[in-house]
Amino acid sequence: MGSTTSFWFFTFILFSFLYFSTSASRAPPPAAAGPVCDSTPDPSYCKSALPNQTGNVYSYGRSSVGKSLSSSRKFLRLVQKYLRTSRGSLTVGAVRALEDCELLAGLNVDFLTAAVRAVNATSRALPEMKAEEVQTLLSGILTNQQTCLDGVKATAGSWSVKNGLSLPLAADTKLYSMSLALFTKGWVPKKKKRATWNAAGRHGGFRNGRMSLKMSSRTRAIYETASRRKLLETDGDGDDQIAVRDIVVVSQDGTGNFTTINEAIVAAPNNSASTDGYFLIFVSAGVYQEYVSIAKNKRYLMMIGDGINQTVITGNRSVVDGWTTFNSATFAVVGPGFVAVNMTFQNTAGAAKHQAVAVRSGADLSTFYLCSFEGYQDTLYTHSLRQFYRDCDIYGTVDFIFGNAAVVFQNCNLYPRLPMANQFNAITAQGRTDPNQNTGTSIHNCRITPADDLANSSFPVKTFLGRPWKEYSRTVYMQSFMDDLINPAGWRAWDGDFALNTSYYAEFGNFGPGSNTSERVDWPGFHLINDTDAGNFTAGNFVLADDWLPQTGVPYASGLTG
């Protein structure tokens, strides 16, 4: 070990020592066992982390969430110190992994700040929507931790970063898991199930799946039929209008307000509220070779294109070329309330470059309507929080819909395509790591058919509905058409018997030649469910769509369709 390496090794050890010495090492001995801790995933850890704590679940929960916020701030400072003092000695890949961790740690500080306010406000169950919001944020914190850890572990030449961050990440993950469990027990109401089946004609402010705004004559429609505050006109049936605070046009020929999408995003106001109306960016037809990132302060943006294959955002970053999976995305959004309509998102790296993301969304209450997502492995990264996709086309090979959001896909086309030789297709790889996370992938009233390259290939390719990426992976297919490309087993193991007992995979009311369940896997985690259980994974129940989707104007079915 050379002198420079030794210096950085002891520096990282010192950082880690200081990180832990300010919290764990000064704690008094564990208190006696208490019933509140028994509701957490690791009661013994709870008793040691909250020593001498007395009272009910609310006092335990407030103490835990407060400690979590303090730890999240320490971890953010630790990552920033590594970047500030060590950047020149690290590989490019290690620096990128640390930059991911910095972004994610910053989000965790924000999420926990909101959680502290919520738990300090009351010692009783919160209203359903508020409880769902905080549970979503606490679930997202665990996802952010796991993403940081995955990136650090996967980065070549970053042994020092791994040694310096792995212990703090593991310790904070235990603390965050405890906070989520205590919040769920104390503040989340026992949910009253909403309607399982869909009310006839239920949809948002679009009529029959079409916007009142005419896409084919966009400029005239935008500037003649749209006022500054209202984009869509009612048609006499009382449909909701979409509130818009401002409209800008992106056009590569210079006839709009901006020539690039990123310029338009910079011009958007910061920290808008949902009541302010959308900042609408109309992106004219063209191929935009941009890496777009919508930050957390760019809230309630709506982006409308000229149509699939007309407005195209494209890039080619990949893990093989040195990017983390997280930052390989062509288009990434974390700003809440984002809406995209009539656009194509691509990652053209190709199958040989392995993980290469077209879109990564960690935006709460985000919506994609009439969009296309095109890639191979890891096309669409539904990273975290609550999301909805309607009438979209999604192309890919291995794990091409993956992540740990609470997400509903409705009326979408899923197109497995031709992978590399000796590869298989897995449509989903869901990443739930904790039993109290309110996350999972719900695929409702969709169609699974082969893309043209797979349909025309003479090579046998096995295609599966999904596989368990993380321990509590959860995916449900409901009322969807499955073509004969689906392997009769339906689902594929990740590694040996990992997560086969703890994952939750379910099917309900599917049809088509690939929907036959007689030869499905016999894992404890696989279920054939009835309509009551399936109702838990509808848009209305799983992401509480009726409380936020109408303002987007995107059509949706709240319950099962029949």
Of 306, 399, 434, 546, which one is the catalytic site residue? 399
CA nearest to 180, candidates 122, 135, 129, 145: 135
3-state secondary structure 500-560: CCCCEEEEECCECHHHCCCCCCCCCCEEECCHHHHHCCCHHHHCCHHHCHHHHCCCCCCCE
DSSP state of 253: T
CB burial class (10 A; 0-12, 13-18, 19+) of residue 77?
A: middle
Question: CA 401, CA 562: separation in Å to the nearest integer?
Answer: 26
Question: CA 27, CA 13: separation in Å to the nearest integer?
Answer: 21
Contact 397, 417 (CB under 8 A): yes
Number of helices followed by number of strands (H, E) in the chain: 11, 26
Question: CA 541, CA 533: separation in Å to the nearest integer?
Answer: 11
DSSP state of 205: S
Task: Quickly tell me which residue has 């086969």 as its tokens.
Answer: 500
Going through 133-277 in order, the beta strands assigned E by DSSP cover: 244-250
Instruction: Establish whether 391 is a catalytic residue.
Output: no
Active-site residues: which are they?
Answer: 399
